[in-house]
Amino acid sequence: MSRRPIIAANWKMHHDHLVSIQYLQKLAFLLEGYDFDAVDVVICPPFTDLRTVQTLVEADGYPFRIGAQNVHPEEKGAFTGEISPVMLAKLKVQYVIVGHSERRQLFGETDEFVNAKVVAVLANGMWPIVCCGETLEERQAGQTQAKVDGQVRAAFAGVKAAQAEHCVVAYEPIWAIGTGHNATPEDADGTIGHIRATLRDLYGDVADAIRIQYGGSVKPGNIAELMAMPEIDGALVGGASLDPDDFAGVVKFQV
Ligand code: PGA
């Protein structure tokens, strides 16, 4: 089955809402209609940029899809500083990154909390981008498959097959994030194939429709060889997404 490529920019804590306007105008200038025909292009800015990005996308008809970097699982309540899935859906957010390794490592997010977010995102009509990946120590101990298998099973707990179709998984080996050292295409493809086998165990043939991205030091110079692999359906891009020229170079991996 051929799956539609999905390439997402994870700006992390970069670019205020004014910068987001300049960025999107430049990126829209750099990309052609056929780029958008070929790839889902998702922009995941900080929360404070979302309203600006939504307004620009709607006013200028840019075919970008809007993503958020995080969400709280509850729809409302006494959760000072948090943003609910209802609020994101109102801003035409379509994708939400869930369980990024920085959130797990720096902010103590557990598998259970990640699962609650996945369920909440789906319940509000958005698509989670479910992140998983091993540390260098786990990799060296031969635990990569067990780690991602556990993270994926936990994240999808209670998610039905019909909902799983509306999920994206991002395999992001932690040792490759922001380090300049990407996994080799063969290595990433092997682990992503393993993730798909886990999804097949959970959801049967639906697993063939679920897009699985690779993330970790993706850039214009390595995206083509990654995307050439049969199991890799896209990329979650951090550092190289901060500059519109670089990110356009990643989106144009087929050119
Ligand atoms: P990177 O980040 O591209 O800078 O390695 C990827 C990510 O954290 O999503």
Q: What is the 3-state secondary structure (H, E, C) of 31-64?
A: CCHHHHHHCEEEEECCHHHHHHHHHHHHHHCCCC
For residue 17, pLDDT beyond 90: yes
Q: Which residues pair with 42 in a beta bridge?
A: 8, 65
> What would the two tokens of residue 195 be?
């993730």
Q: For residue 168, what pLDDT is reported?
A: 98
In angstroms, rounded to a whole number, what is the distance separating the alpha carbons of residues 36 and 171?
Answer: 23
Q: What is the mean pLDDT of residues 88-116?
A: 98
Mean pLDDT of 149-176: 98
User: Could you say which DSSP state residue 15 is in?
Assistant: -
Q: What is the pLDDT of residues 172-206, one digit of tens each?
A: 999 999 999 989 999 999 999 999 999 999 999 99
In ligand 1, the atom with minimum distance to the C-alpha of 216 is: 5
- Report the largest interatomic distance among the alpha carbons of the chain, rounded to a whole angstrom: 51
State the CATH number of the domain containing residue 222: 3.20.20.70
User: What average pLDDT does the chain have?
Assistant: 97
- Domain annotation covers residue 211: yes
pLDDT at 129 over 80: yes
Q: Which of 45, 52, 88, 89 shows the shortest CA–CA distance to 69?
A: 45
Q: For position 150, what pLDDT does the model report?
A: 98
What does the DSSP 8-state code read for residue 182? P
Distance 107 CA to ligand 1 centre (A): 17
Q: Report the 3 state secondary structure along 191-236.
A: HHHHHHHHHHHHHHHHHHHCEEEEECCCCCCCHHHHHCCCCCCEEE
Asked if the model's pLDDT at residue 235 lies above 90, the reply is: yes
Q: How many CA atoms lie within 13 A of 79 on its CB side?
A: 11
Q: Which residues, 6 or more positions from 185, have their beta carbon under 8 angstroms from its beta carbon?
A: 225, 226, 228, 229, 232
Could you tell me the residue range of the domain that residue 178 belongs to? 6-251
**pLDDT for the residue 252:** 97
Q: 152: burial class by Cβ within 10 Å (0-12, 13-18, 19+)?
A: buried
Does residue 255 register a pLDDT over 90?
no
Residues flanking ligand 1, CB < 6 Å: 10, 172, 177-178, 215-218, 236-240
| Residue nearest to ligand 1 atom 6, measured at CA | 238
Q: What is the pLDDT, as a whole number, of residue 1?
A: 59
Active site residues: 100, 172
**Using 50, 70 and 90 to split pLDDT, how confident is the model at 122?**
very high
52 belongs to a structural domain: yes
Q: For 41-55, what is each residue's pLDDT tens digit? A: 999 999 999 999 999
Return the structure tokens found at 183.
Answer: 């996994």
**By alpha-carbon position, which residue is closest to atom 7 of ligand 1?**
238
Determine the residue type at 139.
R
| Residues forming a β-bridge with 96 | 68, 128
Ligand 1 pocket test: pick from 100, 131, 237, 246 the residue with the most ligand atoms within 8 Å of its Cβ: 237
| CA of 177 relative to ligand 1 center, distance in Å | 5
Residue 92 maps to a domain: yes
Average pLDDT over residues 203-231: 97
Does residue 1 lie in a domain region? no
The residue-averaged pLDDT of 219-228 equals 97
pLDDT of 35 = 96
Query: Is 187 part of a structural domain of the chain?
Result: yes
In a domain, 215, yes or no: yes
Q: What is the pLDDT of residue 2?
A: 85
Domains of the chain: total = 1
Q: Which two tokens stand for residue 174?
A: 């932690």
235 strand-pairing partners: 7, 214
Instruction: Between 20 and 1, name the one with better pLDDT.
Output: 20
Residues shown for the chain: 255
